[in-house]
Amino acid sequence: MTDRAPSLQAWYGGTFDPIHYGHLRAVEALAKEANLTQVTMLPNNVPPHRPQPGASSVQRKAMVELAIAGNPLFRLDDRELQRPTPSWTSETMAQLRRESGPDAPLAFIIGQDSLLTLRTWHRYESLLNCCHLLVCRRPGYPVEMKTAEDRQWLAARLASDARELHRQPAGKIYLADTPLYPISATDIRTRLARQQPCDDLLPQAVLDYIHHHALYR
Ligand code: ATP
């Protein structure tokens, strides 16, 4: 992209249990493609009625900090971890919209698997009123949404070009052409429990932290 446009602020939510290269490298590629200068990691609070992460909030936050240390693309916002109540993405993005003003282009980043379930999310339409959605490709998940109605819904919101995201504050869905990273936190936890190597799957500093704190045994 060559033309000057308002800077698009992006947030990346997840459990990050633990953070891995599937998160980091996909978003780095997305940042180049969509001209993002800053991505804010937003680790989420897992509500008590959902399966609990293997690592605590404090540990998941610490691992994100280690993973992004020294990388100027990333920063961390721990607001969802500070709340005792479940954190809905739509509410967090509404809060960020209020803080940023009505005109700033804002985006929330998800993987393809999350896009497929998006229309089951709490107030997903209001989420799109607050921000764009940037979708990274992810291996192992269908490219298309399931029903014809879902596909129509998506087609009506698709951004044809990343530049569109910088020109309007919210409402578009951008399917990025990011490389495929066959990595998941579930697989990493399973490998760690079986004492299998995970060297190329996540940053060494995160792996050292996991071993030091005897996580995911
Ligand atoms: P788990 O295996 O525990 O479900 P996960 O690896 O999917 O975890 P999350 O923290 O739940 O990681 O994911 C946060 C976001 O990152 C989600 O939007 C998810 O789609 C995306 N994501 C995770 N792994 C990848 C990957 N390998 N490629 C692209 N996107 C990914």
Residue by residue, DSSP assigns 104-144 as S-EEEEEEHHHHHHGGGSTTHHHHHHH-EEEEE--TTS-SS
Q: Answer positive or negative: Cα dihedral of 184, 189, 191, 192.
A: positive
Would you say residue 206 lies in a domain? no
Check which CATH number belongs to the domain holding 137 and give it. Answer: 3.40.50.620
Domain membership flag for residue 187: no
Q: How far apart are CA 39 and CA 73, in angstroms?
A: 6
Distance, CA 39 to ligand 1 centroid (Å)?
Answer: 16
168 within domain boundaries: yes
pLDDT at 6 over 80: no
Q: Is residue 216 part of a domain?
A: no
- Please tell me the distance from the alpha carbon of residue 43 to that of residue 131, in angstroms, as a whole number: 18
Q: What is the pLDDT of residues 12-36, one digit of tens each?
A: 999 999 999 999 999 999 999 999 9
What is the span of the domain harbouring residue 150? 9-181
Count of domains observed in the chain: 1
- Higher-confidence position of 51 and 19: 19
Measured CA to CA, the distance from residue 120 to residue 124 in angstroms comes to 8
Q: 7 CA to middle of ligand 1, Å?
A: 25
What is the reported pTM?
Answer: 0.95
Ligand 1 interacting residues, C-beta cut-off 6 A: 14-17, 22-23, 26, 110-111, 113-114, 136, 138, 181, 183-186
pLDDT digits (tens, 9 = 90+) for 133-166: 999 999 999 889 999 999 999 999 999 999 999 9
Residue 52 falls inside a structural domain:
yes
Residue 127 falls within a domain, yes or no? yes
ipTM, two decimals: 0.98
Q: Which residue has the tokens 């994100």?
A: 64
The phi and psi torsions of 99 (rounded to 5 degrees) equal -70, -30
pLDDT at 152: 97
Compute, in angstroms, the gap from residue 4 CA to the centroid of ligand 1.
Answer: 31
